[in-house]
Amino acid sequence: MNCRLPLYSPAHPIALRHSIEMEPDTGMHDDFQGLSAKRLIGKVAVITGGARGIGAATAKLFAQNGAYVIIADIIDELGATLADLIGGRYIHCNVAEEADVESAVQLALTWKGRLDIMFNNAGIGGPGGSITNLDMDQVKPLLSVNLYGVLHGMKHAAQAMIEGKKGGSIICTSSSAALMGGLAGHSYTLSKEAIIGLMRSAACELGVHGIRVNCISPHGVPSEMLLSAFRMFLGDVRPEEVSKIVGERGSLLRGRGASTEDVAQAALFLASADAGFVTAHNLVLDGGYTSAISDMSFIYKREENEIKK
């Protein structure tokens, strides 16, 4: 017999469509996994910012690999629809509010009795402009989401994982902007670099509990955030156009742009037993962009021509 309880956000009617089932799921979740899904069988994951972009791609991939996924977001319609598709759960969650993040973690414990994976992925863009004219009233909301939101996720996921005594994986989305200056505004860069420091600090404490803590730093992924930035200068560009631009100008892999699926695959690796000895690591997905001052491939082409002579 199923025991159904309301979600933790009663103010959001869409969230109320989803209930907590104490029995294992059957049906859509199993169908979505497919026969070859094996890497996260039975694992329980919370993904913040999971309604679209990187979070949505990761939610789908985790479910395909056997995980039970909770999508935590503020975009209720998209999040609830995706949760239905993958046989997961949706909860309205503003990561800037610690109580919301705590509720998302609690949902995992009530639904499946455990939390194995926490993907702190939610983030927003911030103000640009000179450091001399920075509006602190605009900086604070960004830090509340990008930095404090990650801290909230780490705190409550770590508590649940320590109490569960089964280890776990905490993953945080940083950015190439944390590795190279000039790629984003000052406040966004601050938030993303701080995440990497926080990740390493938490990994030092939590390793004794079998909890791995890692970051992913994507570059040029055509998410809604990057699209908005591009549209400020280029008008109504499409995701594939942004990917093409990145592939031509923002990657050492000429013609190969980034995708949300690339980040999802990285998250799958870090969440799975394949990364069982990986912690305190920042996995950079940038096509080699941040490793070079400029593209020097013409040097190698010249050497190849000389060899042929």
For residue range 236-262, list pLDDT tens digits in order.
767 666 666 666 666 778 777 788 999
Q: Is the pLDDT of residue 33 over 80?
A: no
Q: Is residue 239 one of the residues assigned to a domain? A: no
Q: Which of 225-229, 231-235, 252-256 has the highest mean pLDDT?
A: 252-256
55-99 tens-digit pLDDT: 999 999 999 999 999 999 999 999 999 999 999 999 999 999 999
Average pLDDT, the chain: 84
- Which domain covers residue 21, as residue numbers? 15-221+255-308
Q: Taken in order 125, 94, 55, 279, is the CA torsion positive or negative?
A: positive
Q: Where are the alpha helices (DSSP H) in the chain?
A: 28-33, 53-64, 76-86, 98-112, 136-146, 148-164, 186-206, 224-234, 239-249, 260-271, 297-308
Asked which of 1-5, 139-143, 181-185, 243-247 is least confident by mean pLDDT, the reply is 1-5
On the question of pLDDT at 20 being above 80, the answer is no
C-alpha R_g of the chain: 20
Query: Amino acid letter at 276?
Result: G
pLDDT at 294: 55
Is 5 part of a structural domain of the chain? Answer: no
C-alpha dist (Å) from residue 219 to 134, 174, 182, 188:
24, 10, 13, 14
**pLDDT for 12:** 47
How many separate domains does the chain show? 1
Question: Cβ(56)–Cβ(260) under 8 Å?
Answer: yes
Give burial (CB, 10 Å; 0-12/13-18/19+) of 305.
Answer: exposed
pLDDT for position 220:
80
Angle ∠(279,122,267) on CA atoms, nearest 5: 35
- In a domain, residue 268? The reply is yes
Tokens of 266: 């990285």
| Cα separation of the two ends of the chain | 78
pLDDT band, residue 23 (cuts 50/70/90): very low
pLDDT at 4 over 70: no
Contacts of residue 245, defined as CB under 8 A and 6 or more positions apart, other chains included, come to 230, 257
- Catalytic member of 8, 188, 289, 300: 188
Contact 54, 218 (CB under 8 A): yes
Domain-embedded: residue 98: yes
Domain of 89, CATH number, reads 3.40.50.720
Q: Is residue 58 part of a domain?
A: yes
Distance CA 115, CA 108 (A): 6
Q: What is the Cα–Cα distance from 229 to 249, expressed in whole angstroms?
A: 16
Residue with tokens 């910012």: 49
Would the pLDDT of 291 be above 50?
yes
Answer yes or no: is 35 within a domain: yes
Residue 188 annotated as catalytic = yes
Residue 74 lies in a domain: yes
Q: What is the C-alpha to C-alpha distance for residues 149 and 96, in angstroms, rounded to an integer?
A: 5
Burial degree of 302 (CB within 10 A; 0-12, 13-18, 19+): exposed
Q: Which of 8-17, 90-99, 221-230, 264-273 has the lowest mean pLDDT?
A: 8-17
In-domain check, residue 248: no
- For residue 15, give both structure tokens: 């969230």
Q: Among the listed ranges 120-124, 180-184, 203-207, 261-265, which one has the minimum average pLDDT value?
A: 180-184
Q: What is the pLDDT of residues 115-135, one digit of tens each?
A: 999 999 999 988 888 999 999
For the record, the structure tokens of 113 come out as 């009795």
Three-class DSSP labels, 1-27? CCCCCCCCCCCCCCHHHCCCCCCCCCC
Residue 228's nearest CA partner among 134, 78, 139, 128 is: 128
